[in-house]
Copies of this chain bind each other. A is one copy, B any other.
Amino acid sequence: MANKEMIHSVIFNLKHAKGSEEETRFIEDGRSILSSIPVVRDFKVYRQTSPKNEFAFGFSMAFDNAADFEAYNAHPLHEKFVKERWESEVENFLEIDYQE
C-alpha cells in the first residue's frame, strides 16, 4: 500500500466569523503555502456542504505515495503553518486519508 497514490484531506471549522477577512486570509494562505510544498499535487479548497457533519471547509491534496505524504508532514512550511496558524485559528477538524 505504501507505493500507492494517496488522497489526503482535512475537514475543519475556523474560529473566525463566517465571511470575515480573517476567514478568507486563512483559506488563501493555506492554499498558497501548502500547495507550494513540492510533493503536493491537486491541492483544492472546498466548502463542506453536507448537513450530516459539522465541518464547513475542506483542504484536499494528492500524493504519489506514502513517503511523499510523510515528506509533506515533516516539511518546514507545513510545520510552520500548523504551529503558527492552524493551532490558533482552527476550531476543530477531522483528517481523512484515501488509498486505492
Contact = CB atoms under 8 A, between A and B. Distances in A.
Interface of A is mostly: strand
B98 A52 contact: no
Interface residues of A, number: 24
A94 to B, nearest CB: 6
Contact of A52 (B7, B46, B60, B94): B94
Nearest to A60: B98
Contacts of A48: 96-98
Q: Considering residues A52, A55, A95, A96, which has the most beta carbons from chain B within 10 angstroms of its beta carbon?
A: A96
Q: Considering residues A6, A7, A11, A98, which has the most beta carbons from chain B within 10 angstroms of its beta carbon?
A: A98
Interface in A44-73: 44-50, 52-53, 55, 58, 60
